[in-house]
Amino acid sequence: MERKRKVYAPFSQTSEAGVTQTPVEGYIDVSQMIYPTVSTGVVNEKGQWSGVKSDDDEFFAFTKYLAIANGGEILSPDTGTVNFIDMTGFNDIMIAIKPSASGNVALEAVMGPDTNRFANLNPVNSGSGLRGLAKTRNTNFNDLLFTDSAEALIGNVWNIYVIQAILKGQKNLQFKIVNNMGGNRDFEVAFMRLV
């Protein structure tokens, strides 16, 4: 959109001549063009394009697990094509679980499969939780990831949980889900990442 506006010209010819007061009509017309801009990313310090992350629009990596025995565990996602979650650029994650009946499960965020590398490290200790120091003054290594030993789920509906911040930046993430419902159960699991 183009528009004109008047702007005082302090370095006009009269100012150069030594006139210290504003002359009559010391303003000039300036054409001003205003363009809308949208930032979709930047070129990072490595010279590579880095786009702006946004929340996932929908849940992804839907995986079905059939007849998981009591005490049995599953690692999700495991769709055949998607077998880990990359949290690079994301802060939070939502996990949705739909069991075939109500009951308890244990949930733990773990290192993804050893078929996927972590940055440039391969193989990784798959299925294991990460340990380290959180942003406190603690001097002992602790579990850094999410662990819940007994979470009650309602059967035949999606139970959705939001996990904030503690999984930020994890490059090779899976969730270990242990069936503690007292019998064989089917599970569906899906994920959504949030910025």
> What is the strand order of the sheet 159-163 is part of?
60-68, 185-194, 92-99, 159-163
Q: What is the arithmetic mean of pLDDT over 17-24?
A: 56
Q: What is the secondary structure of 122-144 as a DSSP string?
A: -S--TTPPPEE--SSS--S-EE-
Name the DSSP letter for residue 37: -
Instruction: Tell me the domains of the chain and their CATH numbers.
Output: 2-33 (no CATH), 53-194 (2.60.120.380)
pLDDT digits (tens, 9 = 90+) for 104-149: 999 998 998 988 888 888 898 998 887 777 666 667 777 766 677 7
pLDDT digits (tens, 9 = 90+) for 23-56: 555 666 767 777 777 778 888 888 888 788 889 9
pLDDT digits (tens, 9 = 90+) for 54-99: 899 999 999 999 999 999 999 999 998 999 999 998 999 999 999 9
pLDDT at residue 4 tops 70? no
Residue of 68, 92, 113, 109 whose CA lies nearest to 162: 92
List C-alpha distances in Å: 164 to 136, 167, 195. 17, 7, 10
Q: What is the arithmetic mean of pLDDT over 156-170?
A: 91
Looking at per-residue pLDDT, the higher value among 17 and 4 belongs to 4
List C-alpha distances in Å: 102 to 94, 98, 153, 174. 20, 9, 5, 23
Which phi-psi region, left, alpha or beta, contains residue 89 (left: φ > 0; alpha: ψ -120 to 50)? Answer: left
What pTM, to 2 d.p., does this model score?
A: 0.73
Measured CA to CA, the distance from residue 143 to residue 175 in angstroms comes to 14
Name the DSSP letter for residue 14: H
